[in-house]
Amino acid sequence: MRFARILVASILWVAAGCQSHGCGGERASEGSKAAVVEPHLPAGEAGRVLQKAITAAGGWKVWQAKRDVTFVSTLTIFDSRGDATSETIFLHKQLLHRGPIARMESIGLREEIVFGYDGAESWMLRGGRLVEQPQEKMFTEFHGISATLSFGLPFVLAELQGLTLEYLGEEADEERRWEKLRVTYGQHWRSPIRWAILYFDAESGLIDHVYAQVEAPFLEHPIWLGRWREYRDVGGIRQERVRSFYPADSSGSPVGGLAAEQLIEHLQFNVGLPPALFLRPPQGSKGSVAAAQELDWRTAKQAKLVAVNRNASGS
């Protein structure tokens, strides 16, 4: 854990230095005069609920001013007794408003993993080697695609093509009331999430929990309940910090204890990510990721700092 913290600090130090030296930070992006694209809202009640959710999460104009995002994602898996069995940390980088285009870089692994996804195809490097076997990247692909499609909710529901939105009415218990939207993802996204029902708090308009059918060979349950918790403001956008996942039955009620939890932290918008960062590496790629893809100085400097800290931790 100490090693992982050192790596996280190094990566965040590079990002902060990049912003302070004017290499594509928030001020530069927000100062541009790019036209705001209007949201694609469905007709009827579905459109009303989605518009309310967008406003609650910060508003469409604020979202449109965000061009890219980085954050540290920690995924913890729990066994049936509630004990943590694994913890995976990735630096997540994503372009916005261009469809689901993302890259994840592992933190704290001796054999570095880099995963990329462009909305149609995915790729993965392990120790600088391009992974060809689907089973070798199965879990990372599941995590990467799910995280990419989930980030930016509810805004991306008014951006992504190939989604179907359906209003399912209201639901309430003794204390709270929700409005529900069913989201069906097109097959071309290769999403493990077949459909999801989003429960928006009727008062705040924010996503409270999600009930979804999720398919993956290693999952024992097809239906999952996710709770979105600890909202905070980041650059005018309301973003949940914790997502907690439970196996569920056909009614959406939990049938077991906490199975996984995702922590999203150190979120930064408009860091100036270069498009070349997201390109699939050539078949013969070996060695460092930066050399294989001829990335800009920011990525190369990150890799150098990580290597320095790795050597320091091992001494």
Confidence of residue 19 (pLDDT cuts 50, 70, 90): very low
Mean pLDDT of 274-300: 60
Predicted TM-score (pTM) above 0.85: no
Measure the CA dihedral 245/108/131/122, to 10°: 50
pLDDT of 2 > 70? The answer is: no
pLDDT tens for residues 109-166? 999 999 999 888 899 999 999 998 988 999 999 999 999 989 999 999 999 888 899 9
Confidence of residue 188 (pLDDT cuts 50, 70, 90): low
Residues 90 and 12: their CA atoms lie apart, in Å, by 13
More confident residue, 298 or 56: 56
Contact 235, 59 (CB under 8 A): no
Mean model confidence pLDDT for the chain: 83
Helix, strand, or coil here: 74? strand
2-314 fold:
outer membrane lipoprotein receptor (LolB), chain A (2.50.20)
| DSSP H or E run through 284 | none
Residue 284: how many other CB atoms lie within 10 Å:
7
* Burial (CB count <10 Å: 0-12, 13-18, 19+), residue 245: buried
Share of the chain above pLDDT 90, in %: 62
Residue 255: how many other CB atoms lie within 10 Å:
13
pLDDT of residue 35: 65
Confidence of residue 34 (pLDDT cuts 50, 70, 90): low
